[in-house]
Amino acid sequence: AQSVTQPDIHITVSEGASLELRCNYSYGATPYLFWYVQSPGQGLQLLLKYFSGDTLVQGIKGFEAEFKRSQSSFNLRKPSVHWSDAAEYFCAVGRRGNTGKLIFGQGTTLQVKP
């Protein structure tokens, strides 16, 4: 069965520091991969997605993610974090040729210290 693991439940970084949020998935083939962000009381906003092609994808708000097939990973990165990035981040997997329903990780809460 498909699964998504976000090993870090909570991460704290200082403003201006770099950020990496980890995501590992379990799936028999290359899935569709997504990162969403959820601010308190808000719905989910798509940060970026990977369908095929270049394994380094750029998203909104200065985020990027790299698909590594050999490691079954899709880690999210940002070179310099802003206080407004404090939120919960979800990695999600969609199966090709399926209905498109997403399987989500448990989420990582990002706290930004001034």
Q: Which residues bind other proteins (CB under 8 A)?
A: 32, 34, 36, 41-46, 49, 51, 90, 92, 94, 96-107
Beta carbons of 50 and 66 less than 8 angstroms apart: no
Please, what is the minimum distance in Å from the beta carbon of residue 53 to other proteins?
14
Please, what is the minimum distance in Å from the beta carbon of residue 38 to other proteins?
9
Nearer to other proteins, 81 or 91 (CB): 91
- Whose tokens are 């369908």? That residue is 51
- Whose tokens are 């799936």? That residue is 27
Please, what is the minimum distance in Å from the beta carbon of residue 106 to other proteins?
5
For residues 8-24, one letter each, b for 16 or more C-beta atoms within 10 angstroms of the residue's C-beta and e for the rest, the string is eeebebeeeeebebbbb
Nearer to other proteins, 70 or 99 (CB): 99
Nearer to other proteins, 14 or 39 (CB): 39
Please, what is the minimum distance in Å from the beta carbon of residue 101 to other proteins?
4
Length of the chain: 114
Beta carbons of 59 and 77 less than 8 angstroms apart: no
Nearer to other proteins, 92 or 112 (CB): 92
- Whose tokens are 């092609």? That residue is 53
